[in-house]
A and B are shown apart, each in its own frame.
Chain A
Amino acid sequence: MVSLARQNLVHEWRRFAAAILTLAFSGLLILVQVGLLLGQLDAFTLPLTRSRADLWITAPNIQSWDQSTVVPARVEGLFWSHPAVLDVHEMSLGYTDWRTGDGARQNVMIVGVNIRPGALSGLDGIAADTLAVLSTPETVLVDQADAAKLGATVGGTAEIAGRRVTIGGFVRGFRSNLMPLVFTSAESLRRINADWTGSGPPYFLLKLDPRFDVEQVRQDLEAAGGVQTYGVATPEELAAKSALFWLEESGAGTSFGFSMLLALLVGVGVTGQTLRGAVIASLKEYATLRALGVTVGQLRAIVVEQSLWVALVGNLLMFAIAGLLSGLAWFMGIPLVLTWWLGGITTLFVTAIACLSGLVALSVLYRSEPADLLR
């Protein structure tokens, strides 16, 4: 069985290597651009998405998760009375300023973490022994990537809202793009910021019995309290709403969209031309086969097979480089989120560019009479 596609690839490897590289890099450009955007969005909603709650109770009608002010403390009983609710925990966070002895001064977001054992304890991504450090009063954790900015060392001290705290350790993967996150226990936070305990905490976190439908429970709780009293949302809903708000508010959506469009155009343009060149170079040969009675469909199949091989190798290369970049980003504390769906869509996209550019190049063959190509 003669495979013209595969033998072409081997014979003209230089030409196809160029196509594979451009495909891999245009795919990579999209992966990294979207990955960085997702990373930014993720970094913006870290305490929300890393919580172990099934539902978040916030102040009513907020546009972004961090805008919640007060949920009346009296409504806590409502949550407990729902049969699906296994655990309820109040949660606080707030913006405040951070000072160290060496004069570093920085706005931070302070997050009260539940350290009592239970389903709502801690945050995903903070190890149990690291969390245990917070049981010492007035102890905080910060992300290692923020250490320099905060002038923080393990065992060192800082002043938050006028109170002295000890840096008990570092966490990883909690670098926010808004401002540094500082984690402390809910109890310590209550002492640090006494004024937040007035009429209620800014959030309640709920853990549900997995046998109940989350959406149904959400509707029940909304009806029980009335929409003007508090808002109920799953972390995913709240994260999506906050992401949209942030994209619109910061203008990041437009600039990311623009640079991604640029990546697409460059990718399609360069790859398309390279693969097109490979087909055009053999156009007379294809035209001869067509004269001999080979159908256009069979020639298309050859070109598509060729494109699929190029796309396959291009995709593998893309993922290999993406893996390396992802490691590098983690090492440098840059938020880069590469999800399977993003990988899947990019793969489809890269494969489609490869096939389409081959087929478009071949279309010269059936848009003109065979004789014109064989002069």
Chain B
Amino acid sequence: MLVSSDTPALSARSLYKSYSSGDSRMDILKGIDLSARCGELTLLMGPSGSGKSTLMAVLAGLSRPDRGTVSILGQPIADLGEANLTAVRLRQCGFIFQSPNLFGALSALDQVRLVLQLTGAPAADIDSRAWESLKEVGLSDRTHLKPSAMSGGEKQRVAIARALVKQPTLLFADEPTSALDRTNGDLVIRILRRIAHRNGAAVLCVTHDSRLVGHADRIVTIDDGRIVSDERPETPDTFHHRDIEHAAS
């Protein structure tokens, strides 16, 4: 990543968003200001219904706010048309969701190659980049498997490799560990942390999984559509520094 860690990768000002169903209107985001720097793993925490997933969707350009602005690497995305917004996501953003959303028909390697192929990577690089990405999440010996032959943790790691392979500046993860057991959940958050630290990406992770707290550089807590706290844990847990490949094996 060429972006220095002082540049805000993402900044949001006075975000408002509401949903209406029938006659009732629900305000989900009630004036959120937030910025995220490259090289940090930020957790967005809060109880169910606090608006954290909606916030992530708005920050990532997957949903438009009613009011307020979002800028990705200094570029406001509010006025971008659908095609330009897609292009920004293509260049800058990676996504991981609670469910891995993998195509049942494709092997792990093909899941990753498909993204490269569709996003216009040079054909000569596709195989090596896909391999590299799967190796990074500790799946170099599982590349030929289809989702039906993989465990939940392995599938989630393929999803991470797929998000990672574009080398995004911003990586959004929505409840990436909530469907995983402790070991796999641990593994996934370590990978996310490493992506932030080693690749210099801004990683935003929405979670209500308290196991992840010890791994974060910054924890933003949301309740009722507002940010209620924004803290940086002072002493990171020492086992964050363990080698991820070691943990994967």
B105 touches A8 (CB 8 A): yes
- Cβ-neighbour of A291 out of B83, B91, B95 (below 8 A): B95
**A/B interface sample: 23 pairs, CB < 8 A:** A2-B106, A2-B113, A2-B114, A2-B117, A7-B106, A11-B104, A282-B103, A285-B101, A289-B115, A290-B86, A291-B60, A292-B90, A292-B119, A292-B162, A293-B86, A293-B90, A294-B115, A295-B86, A296-B86, A370-B63, A371-B57, A374-B62, A375-B53
Complex contacts, A298 vs chain B, CB 8 Å: 118
A369 touches B62 (CB 8 A): yes
Residue of A8, A10, A290, A374 with most chain B CB atoms under a 10 A cut-off: A374
Chain B residue nearest in CB terms to A9 = B105
> For the complex, is A1 an interface residue (Cβ under 8 Å from B)?
yes
Complex contacts, B191 vs chain A, CB 8 Å: none
Complex contacts, B97 vs chain A, CB 8 Å: 288, 374
Kindly count the residue-residue contacts between A and B in the assembled complex, taking CB atoms under 8 Å apart: 90
Closest Cβ–Cβ distance, residue A19 to chain B (whole Å): 15
Chain A residue nearest in CB terms to B113 = A2
A4 touches B114 (CB 8 A): yes
B91 touches A285 (CB 8 A): no
A12 touches B105 (CB 8 A): yes
Closest Cβ–Cβ distance, residue B44 to chain A (whole Å): 14
Cα distance A1–B106 when bound, in Å?
12
> For the complex, is B110 an interface residue (Cβ under 8 Å from A)?
yes
Cα distance A372–B119 when bound, in Å?
23
B110 touches A7 (CB 8 A): yes
B53 touches A284 (CB 8 A): no
A4 touches B105 (CB 8 A): yes
Closest Cβ–Cβ distance, residue A366 to chain B (whole Å): 8
Closest Cβ–Cβ distance, residue A372 to chain B (whole Å): 8
B63 touches A371 (CB 8 A): yes
Further 15 A-B residue pairs, CB within 8 A, beyond A2-B114, A288-B101: A1-B117, A2-B106, A4-B103, A4-B106, A4-B114, A7-B105, A8-B103, A8-B105, A10-B105, A291-B60, A295-B86, A296-B82, A369-B57, A369-B62, A374-B174
Chain A residue nearest in CB terms to B148 = A11
A294 touches B101 (CB 8 A): no
> For the complex, is B201 an interface residue (Cβ under 8 Å from A)?
no
Cα distance A161–B5 when bound, in Å?
108
CB-CB contacts below 8 Å: B79-126 with A = 82-83, 86-91, 93-95, 97, 99, 101-106, 110, 113-115, 117-119
B101 touches A293 (CB 8 A): no
Closest Cβ–Cβ distance, residue A278 to chain B (whole Å): 11
Closest Cβ–Cβ distance, residue B151 to chain A (whole Å): 19
Chain B residue nearest in CB terms to A369 = B63
Contact with B along A360-375 (1 / 0, CB 8 A): 0000001001111011
Cα distance A369–B82 when bound, in Å?
10
> For the complex, is B43 an interface residue (Cβ under 8 Å from A)?
no
Complex contacts, A292 vs chain B, CB 8 Å: 89-90, 93-95, 115, 119, 162-163, 166
